[in-house]
Structure 1
C-alpha cells in the first residue's frame, strides 16, 4: 500500500483488484435494488450466528473444555437483541415507516461497539492463538452489521397490505421516525410541495394528511380527561365515575368547592411533548456562547504573528460546524413548539365546541355567540402563539446568566454595573405588564361586545334593511370600536415604553460596563479582545432582552384568555338526569310528569309549577294557552333543556323535536331531511309527499340536491318549517314534540300536513305527539288537550269535555271567538297546492349562487400594501422610516466608534482618549434611544389609524351590500373578517412591520460592516445574496398560498359553530351530538392540514437561510485569517461580531417578510368587500314613484298592471 517514498498510494494486485471490483458492483446492485425483506433477512442471519456461537460453547463444554461464561451470556443476549430488532424492522414496515431513525441509530451503535471488538481481535491474533470458529463467526457478524447499517440508510418500499398505502398524501413524519433526523428528512421532502407551489398555486389535494397524533380525535379527549379529573377533584366529594373516551362530549361539571385549574390540565396534556423542546432549547442556548469564544481565539490569533496558519483555518472551520449544529438544533426546537401550539389550539377549539353543546340556558345568556366565537378565533390563537416563545421565560434568564458569567470572565466586576441596569428595568416592566393586562381585559370586553352586536346584525340583516337601520347600527358598532381603539392606543404607548427600555437595555448594559471598567482603573485598557468578545456577548444578551417584552405581553394576553376560557368551560350544564328514559314495556304511559317544578335557572323563580300529567302511548295531545303561558317551556322541560327543581319526568323511547323557529342546516334539502340517518327511498318519498314538499322539489333547481340554508336557496318561512317537520318524521322516533309547526304555513297547507302527518290518519298516527298549537280547528281530533295558564296545567281532557266544563279552556275559546269547520274552506284538490307553491317559490326560481370562499391564487398585489400605507398616512409612514434609518445608522456608528477606540494606542499602560471615546459612545446611545422611542410610537399609532380606517370601510361596505350578498356569503366568513382578520390588523401587523424593518436594517448594516472590514467577502456575498433572494421568493410563493388555504379553511369552523349554536336543542333532542362533534373535528383538522405544511415550510426556509448566514460567518472568519497581517484586531472583531449576528438577522428578516406578506392577506380580505356590488344611495322605487307623481301632476290616477320585483 505504500511506495518507496512512504506516500500513501492505494494499490492492489491484479487478481484482488478484479475480485474487489466485482464485489463492489454486486454490493452496489443489491443496495440500490433493495429487496423489501433484505434487512429482515440480515437480522435473521445475525440471530442465527449468535445462536451458533451459543451452541459452539455448549459443544466445547461437552468436550470438557474450559469455556468462560461470557461466551454463553454475550451471544445469548445478542441473539435475543437481534431477534427483537428484526421484529421491530418488520413492525415498522407494516406501519408504513420507510426509514426508521431508531433502527438506524441501533445499527450504528452496534457497529461501533463491534468495531472495538474487531480491533481487539486483530491485536489478539498477532500475539496468541485464537479460536478459528469464533473469529470466523465474528467477522461474518461484523460484515452483516455493516450491511444492515447501509440498508437502514435506504428507504423501504411500503408493503401493499400496509394501511399507510391507502393514504395518497401521507405526512412525511410517518415515513421517517427519529428526532432531528426526522426533521432533516421532513424539511427535504417539503421541497416537493414548495416546488409545486412555485410552479402553480397549491390546492387542497397537494397538502399532506394530518399526522394521527395531531388530529382532534386524539388531542381533544386527552385535554378533556385531565380537565374532568381536575373538576372532580374540586367537587364536594361526590363519587363520580371515570368518563370513557368514547363517552366524552365535555366535562360534566359537578358542584365545585374550589377553582379548577385549566392551566394545569393543559400542562398535563401537552407537557410530555413540549418538554422535548426544552431540551433542544437548552442545548441551543449553550451553543450560542461557542461563537464568542471562537471570536476570542481568532482575535488572539490575529494578535499573535507567530501563531501557525492552520490554527486560524481550524477556528474558521470550527465556527462553521458549530453554527450549523446550532441552526439544526434551533429549527428542531421551533418545530416541536409549533406542533405543540397547533395541538393546543385544536384541543381548545374542540373543548369549546363540546361545551357549547351541553351548556345550560342560563349560562348561555352570560356567554353570547360573539364571546364564544372570540374564544375560538382569538383566545385559542393566543395560546398557540404563546407556546412558540414560552420557553423564553426560563431561557432568557439562563442566557442572561451565562452572558454575565462570560462577561465577568472578560471584564471582571465591572459587569455588575450592567447587572444593576437590568435589575432597575425589572420593576418598570412589571408595572407595564400589570397595566397591559388591565388593557387586555378591557380590549377583549369591547371586542366581545362588538362581535356580539355584529353577529346579531348579520343574523337580522333583512330586518335592518327593511327598516333602513343600517347607519344607526353602524354608529353603534363604531362607538364600541372607538372604545376598543382607545384601549389599543393606551396599550401602544405602553408598548413603546417597553420597547424603548428593552431595545436600549443591551446598549445601556454595555455602556455602563465599559464606563465602570475604564474609569475604576487607568490601567484597564479596552482592547479588541475585551471589547468585541463583550460586544458579541451583549448581542446575545440583546435577543432575550428584546424577546422578554413580547413574551410577557403574550403571557398577559394568554392569562386573560385562560381565565375567559376557564370561566366558559366551568359554566353550568344541562342536567343529564332531569328526564328519565325508561325502557320499552312496563308503564302504558309514554310521558309522565309528577309534581314537576322547572326553571330556566336555579337562581330564578320557577317557570313551570305543579305539573302532573300522564300521556298514553300513541296519543295525540294538543297544548293550548295564551302567549307566555308556558307551552314551549313544557316541551323544553320534556327535552331536558330546563332545570328540574322538584318532581320527576319520564319519557319513554326516542324523541324528535320540531322547534317553533325552524332550524336549517347549510346543506342540501335531502341532507336536511335525512339528517345523518340511513337513506330509505320509499319512506323518504312518503315523507316528502306528506309534508307537501313534492312540488317544491320539482321547482327547485337541483331538486332535493339543492343547497339550502345560509349559503344556498333562500327558502320561505313555511318551506323551512316543512323541511324541519320532514326531518322529524323521517327519523321515525317514538315521541314527537311539535312546537306550533303549522303557524308558519298557510291554513290550506296546515290542513294537508295535519291530515297526512300529525292527525289520526297521518304517518305519525301510532306515535306519541305533543302538539303546541293556536289552531283551534285541530283540537277536536286530539285525544287530550292540555290547557296552560301561567306555567301550570289547569285542565286536561278531550276537546268536548273541556268545552262543556266551562273552565279556562272555554274562556280561551270565547276569547278567540272561533268555531272553525273544516268544510268552511275550499280545499279543491290541486288548486291550493299549485297556487301556494307558485307563491312560496317565486323567490327560488332564480336561486342565489353558492359561492364558497376560494383562496386568491396570485401574489399579494402592491395595491394592498399601498392601501395599508394610505390607511396609516403617507407622512407618518415616512417619519417611521426615518426613525428606523436613524436608529440603525447610529447603532452602526456606535460600534464602529468602539472599534476605533480599541485600536487606540496604549501610552504608559492607558489609553489617553478614553474619556472622549466614552462620552461620544454614550451620546450615540442616547440618540439611539430617542430613535427607538420615535419609531415604536409612530408604528403603533399608524397601526391604530389603519385599523380604524379599514374597520370603518369594511363595516360601511358590508352594510351597504344588497341582500343577495348576505344570502351567498356565510355569516361565519363575515364574523371571521370582523374578529380574526381585524385582530390581525390591530395587533399582529404593526408588530410584524416593526420587527421586519428592524431586521432589514440590521442585515443591511451587517453586510456593510463586513464588506468594509474584509473586502474579499464581496466575492462571496453577491452569490449568497442571489441564493438568499431566490430561496426567499421560492418559499414565499408556497407560504403565501398555504396561509390563504389556512385562512379559507378557518371560516367553515366558525360557520359550523354558529350554525350549531342556533340548533343545539334540536341536535340534543335527536341525539346527534357525536355526529356534529365529528363534523367540527373534521373542519378543524382540515384547517390544521393547511397549517402544518406552513410549519414545515418555515423550517425548510430557516435551515437554508441559516446555512447561507453560516457561510457568510465562515468566509468572514476565513478572509480575516488570510488578511491578518493587514487587518487591525478592532476591525476584525467588529466584522466577525456582526457576522455572528447576521445569521439570526437573515432568518428573522425572511420570516418577518413572509409574515408581512402572509398577514397582509388580512388587509386584502378586509378590502375584498369594497369591490362587491352596493345598493344605490337612493332606492330606485322611490325615484320611480316620484317620477310618477310629477307625471300625473297631482291629479287622481289609477295605476294597474305594474309588475315589480324586489332586489336587495
Structure 2
C-alpha cells in the first residue's frame, strides 16, 4: 500500500544512473506471455469481440481498482462534512468535549485514506494498461507472422508499426481513465446533494450550469473523434513515408532525392499538423469549458440564492463553496477522459481491422516430416496467384522432385521462378491443384535478409552451437577470410539490414545459416548473383554439390555454367512452364547435352525476341509525446502550481503558526521530488531505448517473414518479441510505480499541513477567528491536497516527457554531412563535359568495389588524397551538385511504395511518353502494360515485383536522367544472360558519350571496357586495358577470367 518495495530502486537511481540490469523483472502474472495465453484461452472459448475478451481477462483487476475508486470518492466527499462541523466548533458550538481534536484526527485519517485509495486506484489501472499494451503487442506481432500476401499489401510495414507502437499505447492508456467515466457522475451527484442541503432550491442553478457545460461539449466529442481519425490517417502516411525514407536513405542520397522526399514528408507533416491543431483546439476548448465550470456553478448559485432569498451564513456558504471543488478535479479531467475514449475507440477499430485481415492458409501445402520420402516435393495441376484475381501467376504446374536430386530453375526476368519457390513454401495462395512437401526446409532468399546482431547469431539462427559443424560451415561458404578481416570476427555486430557488409557477404551468411540447419530440402533463390566467379564456383562445388550432395536442392539461377552438374532443369519459356524435367544423370550423357541445348536454345530465342523488341519505341513515439502530451502537461503544470502555492499562501497568512510545519514540509517535498526524478528520468530513458528494440525487431520480422516461416522460427521470434515487450514494460511499470511512491508521500505531507492548520484554529480560544475565516482556511486546505497532487503529477510527467524532446534534440544535433550546394563553387550546367571512357571494376566479393563507389558519391569521405572528376576535386563541391550529375544502378535495387511512374520519376520531370519509351528499352513495356500501366502498384520496397524487374526499373531511372557518368554496381546480377546482353547493348548505345563504370562478377561484362580496375582487400592491384591484362603472366584479372571460362567449358556452352 505504501510502495515501500520501490525504495531500493529509487535509492539506487539517486546514487548512480540506472541501467536496464538494475530494474527488477516483472512478475510472472504481469508478463506478456502469461497475458497472451489468457487472451487466447478466452478467444478460443468463443468470445469474438476484442473489447470483451480484454474485459473478461481483467474483470477482477477492474473490480478491485473500482473499489478503490469508490473509496476515494467517499473519502473525498467527507471533506464538506468535516468543514461544516469545524465551522460549528470554531463558533463555540461543540457537540461534545474535544470535538475539535476529533475532527482534526478524522480529517487527517480521511486524507490519508483518500491518498491510499487513489494511489491504489491509479497504480492498479496503470498496471492493467501496461498488461493490455503488452498483450495487444503480442497479438499484433503474432498476426503479422500469419498475414497472407494480399493482407500484407493492404497493411504496410509502417502501418503495422503504428498499430504496435502507437495504437497499443492509446488503448493501454484507457484503463487509467475508465473509472473516471462513472466516478465523475457519482461525485457530481454527491456534490449536488451537498449543495441542496446547503442552499436548497438554489441548487437548480448549479444543475443548469452543469447541464449547459455538458451540452456545449456534446457536439465537440463527435468532432473530436473525426479529428482523431483524420490525425491517425495523416500520421500513418507520414510515418510510412518517413520510415521508408530512413530505411532507404542511402539510395535517396545516391539519387540526390533527399530534398524531394524531405518536401513530401514536410507536406504530410503539414497535413498531420492541420488535424493535430484541430484536435488540440477542441481539447483546449473543452479544458477551458470544464475548468471554468466550478466558478460558473458558484456564481450561478450565489445569484440564485439572492433572487430566491436563500439566507447565507458561514456554514452553508463554505459548505456550498467546497461542494463544486468535489467535482473540480474530475470535471477538469473530462477533456482527457473524452480524448482517451475517442483515441482508444479509434485505436481499437484499427487493431480490430488488422486482426481480421486474411491469413496464410495452413492447408496450402501438405507438410509431412518422414525421415525418407522418395518424392519430397510434389505439385499436381497447381495454379497459384498472388492477388485475388482470376488470372493465375503460375498455371498448371506439374512436377515431382526425387529425394536427393538437384534441380535448377531458369527463365526470363519476372517469369515466376521465385514464385515457384514461394508456392512450395506455402507463401502464394493455391487456387487449384495439390502441393505436398515432406521434410525440413531451408530457404535462401534472393535479396539477402540479415538480422541486427552478430555474424554468429545470423548463422546459428536459433540453433545451438556445434563448433566442428560451425567451422565447417564457415569454410564451405567461403567466410573464413571475411571473418579474419572483420574487427571482431564472427562476433562483429552487423548493422541494420547488414549495412556494414557487402552484398556477397550477406548472401554467404544466408547460405551458411541454411547449411548449418541441416535441412532435408534446400530452396536457393539465385544465391550466386552477388558473389564473384571464383567464390561462386567454390560455393557451388563445395556447398551445393558437396555438403548438400545427399540433400534435395531447388536452385533458381541465371548462371548457365553450373547447369551441367544438375540432375534436372526446370525452365520457363515464352510464358509457360515446361512441365517435363530433363534428367541430366542416370541413363546417358546425351540427356545432359540435350538439357544444355534446350536451355541455350531458349536463351537464343529470348535473345532474338528481346533484340527485336529493343529496337521498338518505406522517431514516431517521441514525436507523438511532443505533439499531444507536452503542451497540455506544461500548461496544466504551471496553472496547478500557481493555484497550489496561492492556496498555501492564504492558509499560512491566516494561520501563520502553520509555517513552522509547512516550511520544512515544502523543503522536504522539493528534495523528495529531486530524489525521485533521478530515477524517473533514467527509467523513461530506458523505456524509450527498449521501445526502439521492439520496433527494430518488428521491422526485421516483417521484412524477413518468408525466411522466418521457411525455417519454422515463428515461435522463437514470437518468444523474442515477448521478451522485448517485457523488457519495455518493466521500466514503464516501475516508472509509474515511482510516481505513485512520490505522490503518496507528498499527499500525506499536504494532509499534515491541512491538519496542522485545523489544529492551530482548534487551539485558539472561541471567537478569536470568525467562523467565516475558519471556514475559508479549511476550504482552501481541502483544495490544497488536490492542487498539490495535480501540480506534482504534471511536473513529474513534464520532466519525463521532456526526455522525448531531448531525444529528438540529440537526433537533430547529429553532425550532418557536407552542404548540398556551395554557392561560391557551383558546378557548371554541362559538368562533367568530358566522357566516353568505359571502366570495369572486378574483384573478389568483399574486396572493396562498392566502397570505392561510395567514395565517389561521398557517402564516405576520403581520409587522404583526392578524387578528381573533370579536373574538379569532388570534396570541394556541394553534395547535391555532385550526386545529381552521376547516374547509378545499385547492387540492391530499391523501390518505394507508390506507382511505377513515381518510382521512375518521383520529381515529375518527365512525360508519360518518355517513360514508356524507357520501359521499352528496359524490356518492361509488356509486363507493366498488362497490369495498370504506369499506375501499377509497388508495395513494401517492391516485394510484388521480381528482383530482376526491380533492377530493370533502376536501369529505367538512369535512362531518364541521362547522366554523363553512369555507375553500374552489379546492375544485372539478378537478370538472365539474354536480358543482360540486351541491357548491355542498350547501355552502350544510350551512354556512348558518357563515362560508364561497371562493377561486375560476370567477367565478359567488362571485356569491352576501355580499362579494368582490379581490387583486392581494399587495394588496387591492377589497372589497364583488359587485353593487356589478359596477356600479363600472373595477372589477377587473367585468373578471374580463366576461372569463368573453365566453368563455361564445363557447362558445354
Partner in structure 2 of residue 140 of structure 1? none
| Residue 595 (structure 1) aligned with residue 381 (structure 2) | yes
After alignment, is 288-297 or 740-749 more displaced? 740-749
Tell me, yes or no, if structure 1 residue 435 matches structure 2 residue 76: no
Residues 83 and 319 of structure 2 are in contact (CA less than 8 Å); yes or no, is this contact kept in structure 1?
yes
Cα distance in 2 between the residues matched to 1:685 and 1:745: 21
Whether the 8 Å CA contact 1:296–1:533 is kept in 2: the answer is: yes
Given the alignment of the two structures, is residue 1033 of structure 1 paired with residue 821 of structure 2, yes or no? no
Change (3 A) 1:1054 1:405: same
1:1200 & 1:693 partners in 2: Cα distance? 26
1:1177 aligns with 2:967: no
Q: Which of residues 196, 203, 217 is equivalent to 2:33?
A: 217
Aligned to 1:756: 542
- Note closer, same or farther for the CA distance 1:223–1:668 as it changes in structure 2 (3 Å cut): same
User: Residue in 1 aligned with 2:558?
Assistant: 774
1:797 to 582, 591, 597: 582
2:11: which partner in 1? 195
Q: Compute the displacement of 1:624 (Å).
A: 1.0
> What are the Cα deviations for residues 322-347 of structure 1, in whole angstroms up to 9, with x where unaligned?
11111111111111111111111110
Give CA-to-partner distance per residue, 1:754-813, whole Å, 9 cap, x none: 111112xx1101111011111111112111111124364444314665974999745423
The separation in 1 between residues aligned to 2:488 and 2:750, in whole angstroms, is 59
Equivalent of residue 682 in structure 1, options 461, 468, 472: 468
Secondary structure of 1:581 counterpart: strand
Contact kept in structure 1, 2:444 and 2:525, CA below 8 Å: yes
- TM norm structure 1: 0.66
Q: Distance in 2 between matches of 1:991 and 1:473?
A: 31
Cα distance in 2 between the residues matched to 1:711 and 1:636? 22
Match of 1:1077 among 711, 715, 718: 718
- Give the whole-Å Cα distance in 2 for the aligned partners of 1:1104 and 1:313: 23
Q: For residues 490 and 679 of structure 2, what CA distance do their matches in structure 1 show?
A: 39
How far has the Cα of 1:1019 moved from its partner? 2.4
- Aligned: 1:328 with 2:122: no
Distance, in Å, in 1 between the alignment partners of 2:215 and 2:135 is 36
Aligned match of 1:569 in 355, 358, 367?
Answer: 355
Q: Which residue of 1 aligns with 2:300?
A: 512
Deviation at 1:1199, TM superposition (A): 14
Cα 1:1148–1:1083 change in 2 (3 A) is same
Listed one character per residue, the Cα deviations across residues 373-427 of structure 1 (whole Å, up to 9, x for unaligned) are: 1112111111222211111111111111111112112211221221122222223
What's the offset of the Cα at 1:601? 3.3
Moved more, 791-800 or 585-594: 791-800
- Among candidates 1106, 1112, 1132, match of residue 774 of structure 2: 1132
Q: Which residue of 1 aligns with 2:56?
A: 268
The structure 2 residue matched to 1:650, chosen from 436, 441, 453, is 436
In the alignment, the residues of structure 1 paired with residue 193 and residue 138 of structure 2 have an alpha-carbon distance, to the nearest angstrom, of: 46
Whether the aligned pair in 1 keeps the contact of 2:188 and 2:327 (CA below 8 Å) is yes
Question: CA distance change for structure 1 residues 1083 and 1190 in 2, over 3 Å: closer, same or farther?
Answer: closer
**Length-normalised TM-score, structure 2:** 0.75
For residue 702 of structure 2, what is the aligned residue in structure 1? 1061
Distance 1:201 1:804, change over 3 A: closer
Q: Which of 799, 804, 813 is the equivalent residue of 2:603? A: 813
Label 1:1141 to 1:357 Cα distance change in 2 as closer, same or farther (>3 A): same
Q: CA deviation at 1:1168?
A: 0.3
**2:560, 2:606 → 1: CA distance?**
9
Aligned 8 A contact 1:803 1:810 in 2? no
Whether the 8 Å contact between 2:743 and 2:789 is mirrored in structure 1 is yes
CA apart distance, 1:192: 2.1
Per-residue deviation, 1:367: 0.9
The answer on 1:351 being equivalent to 2:167 is no
SS in 2 for 1:595: strand
Task: Give 1:474's aligned residue.
Answer: 262
Shift of 1:309: 6.0
Q: Is the 8 Å Cα contact of residues 349 and 380 (structure 1) preserved in structure 2?
A: yes
Q: How far apart are 1:1205 and its partner, in Å?
A: 9.8
User: How many Å separate the matches in 2 of 1:802 and 1:439?
Assistant: 68
Residues 583/516 of structure 1: CA separation in 2 closer, same or farther (3 Å cut): same
Match of 2:788 among 1146, 1150, 1154: 1146
Q: Is the 8 A contact 1:345 1:383 kept in 2?
A: yes
Mind listing any 5+ residue stretches in structure 1 that lack a counterpart?
Answer: 1-182, 234-259, 819-974, 1192-1197
Matched, 1:540 2:356: no
Give the aligned partner of residue 104 of structure 1: none
Structure 1 residues 449, 713: CA separation in 2 closer, same or farther (over 3 Å shift)? closer
How far, CA to CA, are the matches of 2:743 and 2:285 in structure 1? 31
- Tell me the distance in 1 between the aligned counterparts of 2:165 and 2:94: 65
Matching residue of 2:287: 499
Alignment of 1:1085-1124 (within 5 A): 1085-1123=726-764, 1124=766
d(CA) in 2 for partners of 1:621, 1:805: 12
**2:480 paired residue number:** 694
Q: Which residue of 2 aligns with 1:787?
A: 571
Shift of 1:514: 2.1
1:389 aligns with 2:173: no
Instruction: Please give the secondary structure, in 2, of the residue aligned with 1:796.
Output: coil
Within the alignment, does 1:614 sit opposite 2:400 as a pair?
yes
Deviations, residues 234-256 of structure 1 (Å, cap 9, x unaligned) = xxxxxxxxxxxxxxxxxxxxxxx
Offset at residue 1113 of structure 1 (A): 1.1
The 8 Å contact of residues 664 and 709 in structure 1, kept in 2 or not, is answered as: no
2: CA distance between counterparts of 1:501 and 1:1107?
A: 31
The answer (yes or no) to whether the contact 1:795–1:808 under 8 Å persists in 2 is no
Q: What SS class does the counterpart of residue 289 from structure 1 fall into?
A: helix
Of the three residues 495, 512, 516, the one matched with 1:726 is 512
How many Å apart are 1:203 and its aligned residue?
Answer: 2.1
How far the C-alpha of 1:587 sits from its partner, in A, is 5.4
Evaluate the alpha carbon distance shift between residue 604 and residue 386 of structure 1 in structure 2; reply closer, same or farther with a 3 A threshold. Answer: farther
Q: Give the whole-Å Cα distance in 1 for the aligned partners of 2:280 and 2:369.
A: 63
Question: How far is the alpha carbon of 1:1098 from its aligned partner?
Answer: 1.4
- Judge conservation of contact 2:140–2:164 (CA < 8 Å) in 1: yes
Aligned to 2:810: 1168
Distance 1:496 1:817, change over 3 A: closer
SS at match of 1:325: helix
The alpha-carbon deviation at position 303 of structure 1 amounts to 2.3
**Residue 1036 (structure 2) aligns with:** none
Q: Secondary structure at the match of 2:414?
A: coil
CA-to-aligned-CA distance 1:970-994 (integer Å, 9 cap, x gap): xxxxx9x2x1000000001011112
Deviation at 1:318, TM superposition (A): 1.1
2:149 is aligned, of 361, 364, 378, to 361
1:794-841 Cα distance to aligned partner (Å, 9 max, x none): 4431466597499974542314779xxxxxxxxxxxxxxxxxxxxxxx
The offset of 1:1159, in angstroms, is 0.4
Distance 1:517 1:631 in 2: 87
Name the SS for the 2:327 alignment partner: helix
Note if 1:707 corresponds to 2:348.
no
Is the 1:596–1:647 contact (alpha carbons within 8 Å) kept by the matching residues of 2?
Answer: yes
Rg larger for = 1
Q: Which of 515, 523, 528 is 1:737 aligned to?
A: 523
Other structure's SS at 1:646 match: strand
Call closer, same or farther: CA 1:791–1:536 in 2, change over 3 Å. Answer: farther
1:796–1:1042 CA distance, 2 compared to 1 (3 A): same
Comparing both chains, which one has the higher relative contact order based on Cα–Cα distances under 8 Å and sequence gaps of 6 or more? 2
SS in 1 for 2:558: coil
Matched position secondary structure for 2:449: coil
Aligned in 2, Cα 1:712/1:643: closer, same or farther, shift over 3 Å? closer
Question: RMSD across aligned C-alpha pairs, in angstroms?
Answer: 2.6
Q: Which residue of 1 aligns with 2:614?
A: none
Change (3 A) 1:1165 1:319: same
Residue 206 (structure 2) pairs with residue 421 (structure 1): no
User: Does the CA contact (< 8 Å) of 1:1040 and 1:1154 recur in 2?
Assistant: no
Written as runs of structure 1 = structure 2, the 5 A alignment for 1:910-921 is none
- Aligned partner of 1:1018 in structure 2 is 659
